[in-house]
């Protein structure tokens, strides 16, 4: 029998049920996140990254709890989800992880420069690098062969969208406040890096793959900081997990975003959602 990987989602996976799900299994976490944020992030998750990220983080850990806290053979997280995966694997304390998520969301929200453009359809991964280079953008998320997200100056997005459509792709600007996973996130790096230096990092109980490198975390602090400005290599991460023998993928937390991305990347694997 093949191995199992536990997957933790990132921003964009929020759902209306998140608060109720957390209240049902982790009322203590609901109280803690409201204390650290200074407000109920679930009620304001659609307002911005500063509320959405802590809400999704808590909902992901609650989903993991509702399944009996499985560890599987590997774990991985999409962007924000890496912090939930590292907490679940015992590499970070839960409170430390939550405080880092709150800070990360606030810093990313404050870096309100630029935007993001999703490229959708067969050939998205094939054409993304050329489109990014031609329009001065960065690849932010290599999610699947049919979904890549570009990031950069907002004024460059319409031209990139027109060029993508001429190649037979669908192009959609995302409703985000900044150019996430691009060099425009550099202003968030110093404070986040400093905060990471203050927390204890332990060896995880099971390997956690970094979506920055598509390999198991080697230097947790370094890779989490790099994740602010470098692309999410999710497609490559899933391919690497499959190469390592993973045949069963369990997505915990809100939404089914990751389940869909795995389905578009790998065949003949089992997909489970909490």
Angle (nearest 5°) at CA 87 between 14 and 215: 90
**Tokens describing residue 75:** 């774990």
CA distance 103 to 97: 10
Instruction: Tell me which residue of 112, 114, 118, 185 sits closest to 155, measured CA to CA.
Output: 114
Distance CA 211, CA 74 (A): 13
- Find tokens 């994740």 and name the residue: 227
Q: Are strands 138-144 and 3-8 parallel, antiparallel or unpaired?
A: unpaired
Q: How far is CA 229 from the centre of its chain?
A: 13
Q: Any bridge partners for residue 215, and if so which?
A: 210
Closest CA to 78 of 251, 245, 246, 247: 251
CB count in 10 Å sphere of residue 193: 15
Instruction: Report the first-to-last Cα separation within the chain, whole angstroms.
Output: 21
Q: Please, are residues 52 and 14 in contact by the beta-carbon 8 Å criterion?
A: yes
Just list the catalytic residues. 79, 181
Residue corresponding to tokens 């690098």: 129
DSSP label of 26? -
Cα–Cα distance between 23 and 26 in angstroms, integer?
Answer: 6
């Amino acid at each position: 029998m093949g191995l199992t990987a536990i997957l933790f989602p990132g921003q964009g996976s929020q759902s209306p049920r998140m608060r109720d799900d957390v209240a049902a299994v982790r009322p203590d976490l609901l109280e803690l996140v409201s204390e650290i944020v200074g407000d109920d992030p679930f009620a304001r998750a659609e307002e911005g990254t500063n509320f959405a990220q802590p809400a999704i983080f808590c909902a992901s850990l609650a989903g993991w709890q509702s399944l009996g806290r499985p560890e599987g053979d590997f774990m991985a997280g999409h962007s924000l989800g890496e912090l939930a995966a590292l907490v679940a694997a015992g590499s970070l304390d839960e409170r430390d992880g939550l405080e880092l998520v709150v800070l990360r969301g606030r810093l990313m929200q404050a870096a309100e420069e630029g935007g993001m453009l999703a490229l959708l359809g067969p050939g998205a991964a094939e054409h993304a690098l050329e489109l990014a280079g031609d329009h001065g953008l960065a690849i932010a998320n290599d999610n699947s062969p049919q979904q890549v997200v570009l990031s950069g100056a907002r004024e460059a997005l319409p031209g990139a969208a027109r060029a993508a459509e001429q190649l037979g792709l669908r192009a959609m600007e995302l409703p985000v406040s900044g150019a996430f996973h691009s060099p425009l996130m550099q202003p968030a790096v110093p404070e986040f890096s400093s905060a990471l230096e203050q927390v204890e990092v332990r060896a995880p109980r099971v390997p956690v793959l970094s979506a920055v490198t598509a390999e198991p975390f080697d230097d947790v602090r370094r890779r989490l900081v790099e994740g602010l400005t470098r692309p999410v290599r999710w497609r490559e991460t899933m391919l690497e997990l499959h190469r390592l023998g993973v045949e069963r993928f369990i997505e915990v937390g809100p939404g089914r975003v990751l389940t869909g991305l795995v389905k578009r990347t790998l065949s003949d694997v089992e997909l489970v959602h909490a």
